[in-house]
Structure 1
Amino acid sequence: MSLHHQRIPPTIGPYRLPNQVILAPMAGVTDRPFRQLCRRLGAGLVVSEMVTSDPSLWHTRKSRLRLDHRGEPGPRSVQIAGGDARMLAEAARLNAEQGAEIIDINMGCPAKKVCNKAAGSALLRDEALVGRILDAVVDAVDIPVTLKIRTGWCEKSNNAVRVARMAESAGIAALAVHGRNRQQRYSGHAEYDTIAKVKAAVNIPVFANGDIDSPSKAAAVLDYTGADAVMIGRGAQGNPWIFREIDHYLKHAESLSPPTNKERAHVMCGHLKALHDFYGDFMGVRIARKHLGWYLANRLFFPPQVAKSQRAIFNALERPRDQLQFVDELFRHAAAEDGYRMANDGMSAA
């Protein structure tokens, strides 16, 4: 472990996070069941899927579910997206009234349907509008406001440092930076030089985001950038254990043992049940297919040829109980092998 980077969890307003590992907001991924799972498995903070800043759309089933934070421990962070300063300010106020304890502004999403509405990372092209949005949202609520950005709109417009200074001046409590510009979307590799420059330019907490998929990578990025925490997005899909593994590595400079097959089966079944309960049987079964696909695609646990064939079988299942039975059967033999190996190890130690 590098000695020049202190392992001190960041503070967002009045909230001292328990560690330096944060779940990134991801539309269609970080719903309440996944947030709760990641929190249980070591995430120090979880951020909701982005909610449109237009309250007239909140009556839709999708928005109602995204605004549902029942049973979640605090601080509850809700991400809002939009391109109109007054509307974003009103959305922040309404979310605070509904129990949000941190408001996060999305200026990082590269999706076309978001950018085409002059929201997400498209906002980085208009720094005057960025300033108006930051001032309006911070003024609208008395809870901390955070911001998520990319390095810029394109390679020629790397303005993350300027935007970071604007954010600090406006009263933003913490800043997450994804190490790609918008035109890169998720292609190529994240770069961390810009994140390091942002961290050097401001005094608010900075979270490094992009391509962090292992404990050693998290430690290296923290040391290289000086960032206060890492924010994990795609690296958590199919691997929610990554949070406790990174936290353990940062605190002890050693790798945590991977989850046993028994624990993996328990976590996956629990996740599927939570999806069925949250969305109802019809939608829950369909959303579960996406998450189970990510679990199967995790090369740490399943060979690619197994993942492909098993995913096809799982995607044909229509009932919640069939999905749960699938996971039980998937791990039954592996769990038995786990127990046999552990018993033999115990005998050897004796």
Structure 2
Amino acid sequence: MGCPIDIVVNKGAGSALLTKPMRMKNIVDVASSTVEKPITIKVRTAYFEGKNRIDSLIADMGSWGASAVTVHGRSRQQRYSKLADWEYIYQCGRKAPKTLQVVGNGDVFSFVDWNNHRTACPELATCMVARGALIKPWIFTEIKEQRHWDISSGERLNILKDFVHFGLEHWGSDTKGVETTRRFLLEWLSYTCRYVPVGLLEVIPQRINWRPPSYYGRDELETLMASDSAADWIRISEMLLGKVPVGFTFAPKHKSNAYDRAENG
């Protein structure tokens, strides 16, 4: 119930449900009474900034049949502009009954972020990692081992190789399978280019909303991986999947200019 994308919201789904509490209740009630698995809910703070905020429903969600709720600290109207409102997430965590686990979500991009939120609000069950995992999937290793990993370009390329291997295994290694894998890889590269290597940072850790200037990496591959040009993402895909077909073009589906601009509304 948190998706902000127009094509979903315009059908009354995703975060549009935040404007219809009784429909939310009915969905959770029916789902929880139909399946044996625990039902969890994902929400934003509200649909419109400052209106019908989700904290007013937190106390009721457990009685609906939900086992946990993940609160993304932004409204639908806000999209990804500004940082997530963690004080509001903490407020939701403290209001929730003990039978309902509350998971905080928004801008977790390092083990420092993770630790700070867990310490600030012990009532939270845990923190969700979202875009941070798209940009640097090794964030879970950093959290587990409580360290900033200055990962090399070669190690990052190995992660991409694994991704391609799994893609070809799933979709097949024929032309269609290769190009499907390539499309998914390119969508992912439109996020991974935002990562700045720890060894190049003046201030550690990197924040998810920073707009770093163009920079040269410590080797050619690291420089290539930092490019925000779709042509360079295609070059990386060709290193792993061979040449693209004649006339091939690519534009990322999320159409974001990358960091903190509101895309809608």
- The counterpart of 2:109, out of the listed 208, 213, 218, is 213
Q: 1:292 deviation in Å?
A: 2.8
Q: 8 Å contact 2:32–2:39 — kept in the other structure?
A: yes
| Paired position in structure 2 for 1:242 | 139
Secondary structure at 2:71's aligned position in 1? strand
Alignment of 1:6-85 (within 5 A): none
The 2-side partners of 1:288 and 1:257 are apart by 23
Q: 1:311 deviation in Å?
A: 5.1
Alignment of 1:294-305 (within 5 A): 294-300=191-197, 304-305=214-215
| Paired position in structure 1 for 2:12 | 118
Q: 1:270 deviation in Å?
A: 0.8
Does residue 154 in structure 1 map to residue 73 in structure 2? no
Q: 1:284 deviation in Å?
A: 0.9
Change (3 A) 1:314 1:199: closer
**For structure 1, which runs of at least 5 residues remain unmatched after alignment?**
1-106, 250-254, 324-350
Query: Which deviates more from structure 2 when the two are superposed, residues 179-188 or residues 285-294?
Result: 285-294
Does residue 274 in structure 1 map to residue 166 in structure 2? yes
Identity of matched residues, %: 29
Change (3 A) 1:173 1:293: same
Change (3 A) 1:135 1:304: same
Q: 1:264 deviation in Å?
A: 2.4
The 2-side partners of 1:314 and 1:160 are apart by 39
| Paired position in structure 2 for 1:264 | 156
**For structure 2, which runs of at least 5 residues remain unmatched after alignment?**
172-176, 201-212, 216-222, 244-265
Change (3 A) 1:181 1:225: farther
The 1-side partners of 2:41 and 2:165 are apart by 33
Per-residue CA shift, 1:122-149, capped at 9, x if unaligned? 1111111111111111111111110000
Query: Which deviates more from structure 2 when the two are superposed, residues 183-192 or residues 160-169?
Result: 160-169
Q: 1:260 deviation in Å?
A: 4.1
Q: 8 Å contact 1:277–1:284 — kept in the other structure?
A: no
Equivalent residue letter for 1:321: L
Q: Which runs of 4+ in 1 moved over 6 A?
A: none
Change (3 A) 1:272 1:304: farther
The 2-side partners of 1:229 and 1:310 are apart by 35
| Paired position in structure 2 for 1:192 | 86
Does residue 322 in structure 1 map to residue 214 in structure 2? no
Query: Normalization by structure 1: what TM-score?
Result: 0.56
Change (3 A) 1:314 1:112: closer
Note the aligned Cα RMSD (angstroms): 2.4
| Paired position in structure 1 for 2:59 | 165
Equivalent residue letter for 2:18: L
Equivalent residue letter for 1:118: G
Per-residue CA shift, 1:87-131, capped at 9, x if unaligned? xxxxxxxxxxxxxxxxxxxx1111111111111111111111111
Equivalent residue letter for 1:282: E
Alignment of 1:82-101 (within 5 A): none
Q: 1:189 deviation in Å?
A: 1.4
Q: 8 Å contact 1:192–1:224 — kept in the other structure?
A: no
Q: 1:161 deviation in Å?
A: 1.8
Per-residue CA shift, 1:173-224, capped at 9, x if unaligned? 1110000111101111110122112111221221110111111111112222
Q: 8 Å contact 1:108–1:182 — kept in the other structure?
A: yes
Q: Give the number of equivalent residue pairs.
A: 212
Secondary structure at 1:182's aligned position in 2? coil
Q: 8 Å contact 2:90–2:121 — kept in the other structure?
A: yes
The 1-side partners of 2:103 and 2:27 are apart by 21
Q: 8 Å contact 1:190–1:210 — kept in the other structure?
A: yes
Q: 1:248 deviation in Å?
A: 2.5
Query: Normalization by structure 2: what TM-score?
Result: 0.72
Per-residue CA shift, 1:69-103, capped at 9, x if unaligned? xxxxxxxxxxxxxxxxxxxxxxxxxxxxxxxxxxx
